[in-house]
Amino acid sequence: MLVTHPWPPIYDENSRVLILGTMPSPKSLEYGFYYGNPQNCFWRVLSNALSLAEPAPDRQSRTDFMLINGIALWDVLKSCEIEGASDGSIKNPVANDFSALLARSKIYKVFTTGKAATRLYNSLCYETTGLAAEYLPSTSPANRAAQGKPQFGARWGLVAAALYAAASGEDYRII
């Protein structure tokens, strides 16, 4: 089924880090906002990585949470053919245009949630943005087995490290 991305990115001029998924899931589309599937642990995992309380499950609280913390949120794809929420079924991907978002913010680091988002971003977007994506493990219910492993939380901790580095003016390097 052809799906076209329905929402603009969440960001402002103070955004330093960009987190990208591939495309909203059917549950998120029903909910009407990013990572709206209650089985997806994105909001809990990101809050834990930042050592902050999880935002209330409404659009405004989640938007405010992202902006207050200097995080932009969007998806790699503008449109694609996809079956359900399976990134493995993506065909004919068309990337979003990141030029306005990058020009109007202070984004210096891009993170992608899941292997498909990382592969799609690096193959379709890197050449125009000049910012390589750093892989974060998927928070999808389909990735439950990996979510309890120590490296899962450690990878998500890279978001906090990038934000700290941006705030302190330090060099940011992946360990």
Which residue ranges form the domains of the chain, and what is each CATH number?
Answer: 2-167 (3.40.470.10)
Is the separation of the CB atoms in 62 and 169 below 8 Å?
no
Is the separation of the CB atoms in 113 and 136 below 8 Å?
yes
Q: In the prediction, which pLDDT does 175 show? A: 36
Pairing outcome for strands 71-75 and 133-136:
unpaired
DSSP state of 88: G
Q: In the prediction, which pLDDT does 143 show? A: 63
- The whole model's pTM is what? 0.90
Answer yes or no: is pLDDT of 107 > 90.
yes
Q: In the prediction, which pLDDT does 81 show? A: 79
Confidence of residue 5 (pLDDT cuts 50, 70, 90): confident
Mean pLDDT in the chain? 89
Is the separation of the CB atoms in 73 and 101 below 8 Å?
no
Q: How far apart are the first and last CA of the chain?
A: 40
Answer yes or no: is pLDDT of 108 > 60.
yes
Q: How far is CA 104 from the centre of its chain?
A: 18
Return the H-helix or E-strand segment holding 161: helix 150-168
**Looking at the annotation, which residues are catalytic?**
40
Q: In the prediction, which pLDDT does 173 show? A: 47
What is the per-residue pLDDT across 29-48, written as a single tens digit (0 to 9) for each?
A: 888 999 998 889 999 999 99
Q: In the prediction, which pLDDT does 152 show? A: 79
The structure tokens listed for 111 are 């993170």
What is the per-residue pLDDT across 76-105, written as a single tens digit (0 to 9) for each?
A: 999 987 787 677 778 899 999 999 999 999
Of 149 and 158, the structure prediction assigns the larger pLDDT to 158
Q: Nearest CA to 162 among 149, 175, 151, 150?
A: 175
DSSP state of 138: -
DSSP secondary structure letters along 24-70: --HHHHHHTSTT--TT--HHHHHHHHTT-PPPPSSHHHHHHHHHHTT
